[in-house]
Amino acid sequence: MGTLAALGSFAVGFFARPLGGVVLGRFGDRVGRKSMLVLTMFLMGGGTFAIGLLPTYEQIGIWAPIALILLRIIQGVGIGGEWGGAALMVIERMS
């Protein structure tokens, strides 16, 4: 069960990527890709930093895995939005 829970928390970030690509991609077209790229970098960095600061299950109980899942969703949305915008910026720059 522990292995399944660990893999499930890892998979949550992958399931959040399409959501980030759709939502942040649309904002990237309207606001600008560079500003959305900066936002997605802050989402990824902030989520990763916050995961490093998470207390253990013994310290806060059930809220530790819940916080981990929420932070993995934030990371997934960030990388989903970052991938499309960054790829487009590279292709436009090369042309």
Q: Could you tell me if 55 and 71 are in contact, meaning their C-beta atoms sit under 8 angstroms apart?
A: no
pLDDT digits (tens, 9 = 90+) for 22-54: 888 888 888 888 888 889 999 999 999 999 999
pLDDT at residue 95 is higher than 80: no
pTM of the complete model: 0.84
Task: Kindly list the domain boundaries of the chain, sorted by start residue.
Answer: 31-95
The average confidence (pLDDT) of the chain is 88
How far apart are the C-alpha atoms of 17 and 80, rounded to whole Å?
A: 4
Q: What is the pLDDT of residue 2?
A: 79
Q: Could you tell me if 7 and 67 are in contact, meaning their C-beta atoms sit under 8 angstroms apart?
A: no
How far apart are the C-alpha atoms of 7 and 25, rounded to whole Å?
A: 27
